[in-house]
Amino acid sequence: MTALWTAAEIAAATGGVASADFDVSGVTFDSREVGPGDLFLALKGEATDGHRFVAQALAQGAAGALVSDVVEGPHVLVADTVAALDALGRAARARMHGQVIGVTGSVGKTGTKEALFAALDRVEPGCAHRSVKSYNNHTGVPLSLARMPRDARFGVFEMGMNHAGELAQLTRLVRPHVAIVTAIAPAHMGFFESEAAIAAAKGEIFQGLVPGGTAVVPFDSAYREQLIDAARPYAERIVTFGLGKGADYRAVEAMRTANGTFVSARFGVRELSFNLSQPGAHWVSNAIAILAAVDAVGGDMEMAGLALAEMGGLAGRGARTVVRVGEGEALVIDESYNANPASMRATLDVLRQEAGRKLVVLGEMRELGEQSPAFHAELAAPIEAAGVSHAVLVGEAMRPLAKALEGRIDFVHVPDAAMARERLEAVLAPGDAVLVKGSNGVRLSTLVAALAERAVA
């Protein structure tokens, strides 16, 4: 098996000095994730210093470490391990001769990235690579690049930001052949003066496009023209996707089925019908963006359609689990990883279409700035439209929503996830459908994990 990196290659890429010859098969900066053959990156941060865990990592089977302080055991010594991680990411990208796709957006980044990986892996099994989890920031992106096999045919990388300028830096590391903006929504509004400013920051992704690259822009967005203008200096080709008439890649029909959504798509003179395993209009839009990207890298569209039909829900982003409740069962929809006003509305609309009594556990939406009270209060209408019978609201920022729901539906307002679990368990009954969604810091994933212990096999 070909090594991911040799010590000599790591030293050459980072300007470091290797203490010994060694080969690595993986890369990580989390000592809890270290496995046999890994390269452990000893990063120095505000909270801790990774050099404290080098001995532990080597004991767990790490083949070597990347360090800025001299340590015992095989290592590559560099001046700055954070800078060295960027350098290793750039070297990984430089040696990769396949097609690279970059994904950003206010909502839908991770789901789109995972579905793209599934589609491309279906086209050429074992030849696609993608960033794991939501490793989409200044350390996660170069780490994901550094993990990319040298013979990968496709690479799919998620890129996120909460300040202007961050995406420009990340996309120049990734250097995508195709760059996608999934959607623009008021996420991270605490750091931006307007949604237009968010669109400008997301449009930075096009700055890293390689010559001849393709920009994929949401047709139905109010910021379509702004994004197209941002792409023009960098993209040879700009295509739009969506549901509206006039989109280059368009869903002309989307019909909810028992197992997801049946979609008919049109692009130019071509048409494709496929089953999409994920429910919801937002997923229809994501699927069309995926087809546009697959087409741009020369992939097989029919195979991509099959992959979309088979893709399961992601933990924290739509995974659906049937759990035991008394003598019966209830459905839990896990959207616990993150939340903003747009994604809240989208997932409430998915809940609306479920059978049975509808319950929600909604955690506060963070990083919304001065508009946070209004954004929270405005969720009252979509909650009511979804037919929600009972709501558990979690966190201080949910107070405006609690006030807006008074006299409209039954609800409780609690301070944390532990109390939310108690209140949900008190009302949960067989036949219920429960949506759990909130910003990651609310830790509603712990509630989902507790419910999942009663999952029906």
User: Which of these, 312, 356, 316, 346, lies nearest to 334 by C-alpha position?
Assistant: 316
Q: What is the mean pLDDT of residues 358-381?
A: 95
At residue 456, the pLDDT reads 92
Q: Where in the chain is the domain with CATH 3.40.1190.10?
A: 96-310
Helix axis angle, 281-296 to 109-123, nearest 10°: 50
Residue 1 pLDDT greater than 70, yes or no: no
At residue 263, the pLDDT reads 96
At residue 300, the pLDDT reads 92
**What pairs with residue 156 in β-bridges?**
101, 130
Q: What is the mean pLDDT of residues 70-91?
A: 97
At residue 54, the pLDDT reads 97
Residue 51 pLDDT greater than 70, yes or no: yes
Give per-residue pLDDT as tens, 161-186.
988 999 999 999 999 999 999 999 88
Q: What is the mean pLDDT of residues 199-218?
A: 98
Confidence band of 16 (pLDDT split at 50, 70, 90): very high
At residue 85, the pLDDT reads 97
At residue 409, the pLDDT reads 95
Residue 292 pLDDT greater than 90, yes or no: yes
At residue 185, the pLDDT reads 87
Run of H or E including 267: strand 260-267
Full DSSP string of 280-325: SHHHHHHHHHHHHHHHHTT--HHHHHHHHHHPPPBTTBBEEEEEEE
* % of the chain with per-residue pLDDT over 90: 87
Instruction: Return the CATH class of domain 5-81.
Output: alpha beta
At residue 89, the pLDDT reads 97
Q: Where in the chain is the domain with CATH 3.40.1390.10?
A: 5-81
**What pairs with residue 65 in β-bridges?**
40, 75
Confidence band of 64 (pLDDT split at 50, 70, 90): very high
Rounded Cα–Cα distance for residues 374 and 138 (Å): 31
Give per-residue pLDDT as tens, 108-158.
899 999 999 999 999 889 999 998 877 889 999 999 999 999 999 999 999
Rounded Cα–Cα distance for residues 197 and 172 (Å): 20
User: Which of these, 282, 277, 285, lies nearest to 261 by C-alpha position?
Assistant: 277
At residue 457, the pLDDT reads 76
The predicted model scores a pTM of 0.86
Alpha-helical segments (H) within 35-123: 54-59, 81-95, 109-123
Q: Are 372 and 447 in contact (CB under 8 A)?
A: no
CATH level 2 (architecture), domain 319-452 = Alpha-Beta Complex (3.90)
Rounded Cα–Cα distance for residues 168 and 203 (Å): 9
CA 68 to mean position of chain CA atoms: 31
Q: What is the mean pLDDT of residues 68-93?
A: 97
Give per-residue pLDDT as tens, 372-409.
999 999 999 999 999 999 999 999 999 999 999 999 99
CATH level 2 (architecture), domain 96-310 = 3-Layer(aba) Sandwich (3.40)
At residue 312, the pLDDT reads 80
Out of 235-249, 267-281, 432-446, least confident range: 267-281
Rounded Cα–Cα distance for residues 293 and 406 (Å): 45
What's 210's DSSP letter? P
Residue 260 pLDDT greater than 90, yes or no: no
Q: What is the mean pLDDT of residues 59-64?
A: 97
At residue 315, the pLDDT reads 82
